[in-house]
Amino acid sequence: MNMQFDMAQNAALPTMVRPCVGHNCERCDVRDRAICADLSASDRDALSRIGRRVSLKAGQTVMWEGDDNMVVANVVEGTLKLATSTGDGREQIVGVVYASDFIGRPFGARTPHSVTALTDARLCLFPRGAFDGFARDHAELQHRLLQRTLDDLDRTRAWMLLLGRKTAREKVATFLLDMGRRLRADRDGVIDLPLSRQQIADILGITIETVSRQMTELKRGGTIDLIGRRGVRLVDMAELEALAEAG
């Protein structure tokens, strides 16, 4: 087993991240979908003043497993992974977050997983204490946070079925279907995967070689088509759905 691809930049946050200038909530891309969506304009401004905007390079880690839990954040742009690992270094990705998602652990002392940028990303970062205080005074925010956490829990539990019971074939098919739903194909029906083979392997709990083998077998069977490193065309969706349930 192995982890890879992100052991690179791991300096402390405040010095690494680049604060963005001239932020304005009114023009924020995720304004309608993030947890702050239901706040009044004045409350949103107050929250905004608590936090700050930061940029991340792909590969940078923002929070560490087991660290004191100092910050929480909204994802404004980009994709990040949440991961835990065993003492001897095996890593398991426990979640992937996208623009408008919320990361970090409010009302808790420790961060139970690391957070690493898969692509370049922008965050709206809040110190934990200040955020917790603000949240306690704003029921709408807590309600939104609760909804989001409940959804996360549902998704995470659904993923456990995949990790615990599905075969490598089923895992890869499920992953491809998920990507097909989440990402838009171009006019040729080709999807550009935002993840490397290694990252896919980590998410599915298998090795990079197995991912590769399953992909080429799906191609051989005419179920999918592979275009370069990151391109996939889902040719036979029905077949793919069948394989996702019972390989």
Binding site for DNA (CB under 7 A): 1-2, 5, 167-169, 196-198, 205-213, 215-216, 226, 228-230, 247
Distance, CA of 182 to CA of 203 (rounded, Å): 16
Per-residue contact string for residues 101-140; x = within reach of a second copy by CB under 8 A: ----xxxx---xx----------------------x--x-
User: First and final CA of the chain: distance in angstroms?
Assistant: 24
SS3 182: helix
Per-residue contact string for residues 24-63; x = within reach of a second copy by CB under 8 A: ----------------------------------------
Question: Applying CB under 8 A, does 18 fall inside the site for a second copy?
Answer: no
Q: Where are the alpha helices (DSSP H) in the chain?
A: 13-16, 41-50, 128-137, 139-165, 168-182, 197-204, 208-220, 237-245
Binding partner of residue 245 among DNA, a second copy, none, CB cut-off 5 to 8 Å per kind: a second copy
- Cβ atoms of 232 and 179 within 8 Å: the answer is yes
Helix (H) or strand (E) holding 175: helix 168-182
Question: Applying CB under 8 A, does 22 fall inside the site for a second copy?
Answer: no
Beta strand 71-77 pairing with 102-103: antiparallel
Cα 220 to the center of its chain, rounded Å: 30
Question: Applying CB under 8 A, does 146 fall inside the site for a second copy?
Answer: yes
Distance, CA of 180 to CA of 191 (rounded, Å): 7
Contact with a second copy (CB under 8 A) among 10, 40, 90, 216:
90
Question: Applying CB under 8 A, does 8 fall inside the site for a second copy?
Answer: no
The site for a second copy (CB under 8 A) is made up of: 1, 82, 84-88, 90-92, 94-95, 105-108, 112-113, 136, 139, 142-143, 145-147, 149-154, 156-161, 163-166, 204-205, 245-246
